[in-house]
């Protein structure tokens, strides 16, 4: 249906109610409830909790559509939208990624788990026509609330779908990746997320997006200088969330209590965790949540779905392409019709069991869906080694001494895309890397032309032997698929598959950073987010190593210290040396899996 037709369908088939639902500590959360007008049947609740407003407000003002997609709208659910504590018309104080309270000693000990429990309990007792079952779903921040809500869940909560959930902001979600701050994404987000409020209030109809005064993010962030300048020049210390981010640059207690992983235990509802291989914001969250369920909640029926999507891309559009890369399949439509809708219909309405596999993942390169009974799948651990002359192979180096080096200059950082963009362009995750290959401060290692398909699944694990003339450094490792020169329309394209930074001062501990000793060998080992990709016959595998990725990642001054409060004089050039010999065999470990019909 067209957007206009959807809006008319909602009004014709649903009645909207607004409630202020009391929590156990007395605070009331503003909640919009849409109930089917057909009262001859009973319906399950489908809940979405959000910090982004349940607008429009007023019982005579309706959302343009309801539920994850129109299949739900037509099937019939009681749709529930709630402003989380401290946001818009809900009472209380908003806390960024509310820490979970594993021990609750009284009614004042509240968190997102208890707020979800209390909401469901109230709905069951006060909304007529319900069938006694509830589900919860959300994307991104609402995905966090879906994940938090299924912990210590109400018995009526039968199905939960955290989609692109934030799980640990420091370890790979929106804020920090291996100690490196994701500048463009966070500045753009906190520029609009706003300051804390003290009383319930409607959204500001005059609110405007931040005016960068430029279309060139590379130039804008270079002129920003030290990250602390953002508070003085732009936020005026009114965005307390931004200030908190820059006050906690190590994995301290502020971050640890916000990590949801330790609390994902003995989960009662069935779980459908969803993520996108090209999600620039929260790729790590669904993977970490799924792994935590495996470790700590073995009896829970749960499925991981990873598709060729940007952030939330499965909920809209066809999902058939991203940037210049075509997937030749309407992956989002397939997911909505064959996975998401049947999942909720089964658990909330006792409809046919879709018998979802443990993991349903889209295999890029071959552009097909694959099903596995575990994730990561079974495979053969292998290592791609770097060699002199920019070679890459599965054969370990034999030379007694071999290395490459480059000069990393913070005044001329490597951009994260080869074109002008203001913010964090989502397309960067598949963008052409030929612009980077030509730079002298990017090391590039390339395999021979593949004689047969190479299928890689699961995490990627760089192992780097390094020296630096500075006392700190960043190292960004990128895995790239190089297309044949005669490939139709994309001849010679160097498609980014995965890139991930590591801040060297955290090589031993994310809690306690340690300066590098100039000229002294050190080693970095870490894991990059999973992939599932086929390097096709005739393609080549490429790995790149560099020390900046700007302004996606903030600039490392290459002098050890508190980066948000650095001075211009702290930014120095540094020589970075990468070894690839018999005693120091740098490379990247992968998991090879078999082709199936």
What confidence score (pLDDT) does residue 194 get? 66
- Collapsing DSSP to helix, strand or coil, 496 comes out as strand
**From the DSSP assignment, how many helices (H) and strands (E) are in the chain?**
13, 26
What confidence score (pLDDT) does residue 235 get? 86
Backbone angles phi, psi at 110, to 5 degrees: -120, 155
Residues forming CATH 3.40.50.1820 domain(s) in the chain: 3-168+258-372
Across the chain, mean pLDDT equals: 96
For residue 410, CA distances in Å to 222, 249, 407, 488, 543 come to 9, 20, 10, 38, 22
Domain 3-168+258-372: what homologous superfamily? Alpha/Beta hydrolase fold, catalytic domain (3.40.50.1820)
Task: Assess whether pLDDT exceeds 60 at residue 184.
Answer: yes
Which residues, including other chains, have CB under 8 Å from residue 523's CB and lie 6 or more apart? 463, 464, 465, 466, 507
For 197-244, give the DSSP string: -SS-----TT------S-S-HHHHHHHH-STTHHIIIIITT--HHHHH
What confidence score (pLDDT) does residue 596 get? 65
Pairing mode, strands 321-322 and 368-372: unpaired
From the list 503, 552, 564, the residue with the least C-alpha distance to 225 is 564
> Cβ(516)–Cβ(504) under 8 Å?
yes
Rounded (10°) angle between helices 183-193 and 240-247: 150
> Cβ(162)–Cβ(286) under 8 Å?
yes
> Cβ(558)–Cβ(571) under 8 Å?
yes
Task: Assess whether pLDDT exceeds 80 at residue 401.
Answer: yes
- Residue 238: pLDDT band (50, 70, 90) is confident
Which residues, including other chains, have CB under 8 Å from residue 566's CB and lie 6 or more apart? 226, 557, 559
Pairing mode, strands 157-163 and 270-276: parallel
What confidence score (pLDDT) does residue 196 get? 72
From the list 426, 442, 514, the residue with the least C-alpha distance to 475 is 442
Q: The domain at 380-592 falls in which architecture?
A: Sandwich (2.60)
CA angle 490, 495, 501 (to 5 degrees): 160
pLDDT single digits (tens) 148-172? 999 999 999 999 999 999 999 999 9
What confidence score (pLDDT) does residue 232 get? 84
pLDDT single digits (tens) 110-140? 999 999 999 999 999 999 999 999 999 999 9
What is the token pair recorded at 22?
């009391």
Which of 19-23, 328-332, 361-365, 564-568 shows the lowest per-residue confidence on average (mean pLDDT)?
564-568
> Cβ(510)–Cβ(251) under 8 Å?
yes
- Residue 374: pLDDT band (50, 70, 90) is very high
In the chain, % of residues over pLDDT 90: 91
What is the token pair recorded at 114?
């208890």
pLDDT single digits (tens) 495-516? 999 999 999 999 999 999 999 9
From the list 273, 263, 271, 312, the residue with the least C-alpha distance to 160 is 271
What is the token pair recorded at 455?
């299928």
- Residue 191: pLDDT band (50, 70, 90) is confident
- Residue 597: pLDDT band (50, 70, 90) is low
> Cβ(437)–Cβ(446) under 8 Å?
no
Question: In whole angstroms, what is the distance from residue 369 CA to residue 15 CA?
Answer: 39
> Cβ(273)–Cβ(286) under 8 Å?
yes
pLDDT single digits (tens) 530-587? 999 999 999 999 999 999 999 999 999 999 999 999 999 999 999 999 999 999 999 9
What is the token pair recorded at 310?
């940007």
Cis before 364 (ω within 30): no
- Residue 237: pLDDT band (50, 70, 90) is confident
């Amino acid at each position: 249906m067209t957007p206009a037709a959807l809006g008319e369908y909602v009004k014709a088939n649903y009645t909207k109610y607004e409630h202020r639902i009391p929590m156990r500590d007395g605070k009331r959360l503003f909640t919009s409830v849409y109930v089917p007008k057909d009262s001859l049947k009973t319906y399950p609740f489908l809940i979405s909790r959000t910090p982004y407003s349940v607008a429009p407000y007023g019982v005579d003002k309706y959302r343009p559509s309801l539920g994850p997609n129109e299949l739900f709208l037509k099937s019939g659910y009681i749709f529930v939208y709630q402003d989380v504590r401290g946001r818009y018309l809900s009472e209380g104080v908003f806390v960024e990624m509310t820490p979970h309270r594993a021990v609750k000693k009284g009614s004042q000990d509240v968190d997102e788990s208890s707020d979800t429990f209390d909401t469901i309990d109230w709905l069951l007792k006060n909304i007529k026509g319900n069938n006694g079952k509830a589900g919860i779903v959300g994307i991104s921040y609402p995905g966090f609330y879906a994940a938090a809500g299924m912990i210590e869940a109400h018995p009526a909560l039968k199905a939960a779908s955290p989609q692109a959930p934030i799980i640990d902001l420091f370890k790979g979600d929106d804020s920090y990746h291996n100690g490196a701050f994701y500048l463009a994404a966070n500045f753009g987000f906190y520029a609009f997320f706003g300051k804390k409020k003290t009383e319930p209030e409607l959204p500001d109809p005059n609110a405007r997006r931040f005016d960068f005064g430029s279309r060139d993010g590379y130039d804008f962030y270079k002129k920003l200088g030290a990250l602390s300048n953002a508070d003085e020049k732009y936020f005026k210390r009114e965005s307390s969330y931004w200030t908190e981010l820059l006050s906690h640059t190590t994995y301290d207690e502020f971050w640890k209590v916000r990590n949801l992983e330790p609390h994902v235990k003995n989960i009662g509802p069935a779980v459908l965790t969803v993520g996108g291989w090209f999600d620039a914001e929260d790729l790590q969250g669904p993977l970490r949540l799924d792994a935590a369920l495996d470790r700590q909640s073995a009896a829970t029926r749960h499925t991981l779905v990873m598709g060729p999507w940007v952030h939330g891309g499965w909920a809209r559009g066809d999902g058939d392409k991203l940037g210049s890369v075509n997937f030749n399949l309407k992956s989002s439509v397939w997911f909505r019709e064959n996975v998401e809708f049947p999942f909720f219909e089964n658990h909330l309405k006792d409809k046919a069991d879709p018998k979802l596999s443990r993991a349903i993942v889209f295999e890029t390169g071959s552009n097909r869906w694959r099903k596995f009974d575990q994730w990561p799948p079974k495979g053969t651990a292998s290592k791609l080694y770097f060699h002199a002359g920019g070679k890459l192979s599965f054969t370990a180096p034999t030379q007694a001494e071999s290395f490459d080096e480059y000069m990393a200059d913070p005044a001329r950082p490597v951009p994260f895309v080869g074109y002008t963009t203001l913010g964090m362009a989502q397309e960067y995750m598949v963008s052409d890397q030929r612009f980077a290959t030509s730079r002298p401060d990017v090391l590039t290692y390339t395999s021979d032309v593949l004689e047969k398909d190479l299928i890689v699944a699961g995490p990627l694990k760089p192992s780097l032997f390094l020296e630096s003339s500075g006392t700190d450094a960043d190292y960004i490792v990128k895995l790239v698929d190089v297309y044949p020169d005669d490939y139709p329309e994309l001849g010679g394209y160097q498609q980014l598959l995965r890139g991930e930074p590591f801040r060297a001062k955290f090589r031993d501990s994310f809690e306690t950073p340690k300066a590098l000793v100039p000229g002294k060998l050190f080693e970095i080992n870490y894991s990059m987010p999973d992939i599932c990709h086929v390097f096709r016959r005739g393609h080549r595998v490429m790995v790149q190593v560099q020390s900046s990725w700007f302004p996606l990642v903030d600039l490392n001054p290459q002098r050890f210290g508190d980066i948000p409060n650095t001075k211009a004089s702290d930014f120095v050039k540094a020589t970075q040396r990468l070894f690839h010999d018999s005693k120091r065999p740098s490379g990247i470990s992968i998991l090879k899996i078999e082709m199936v019909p």
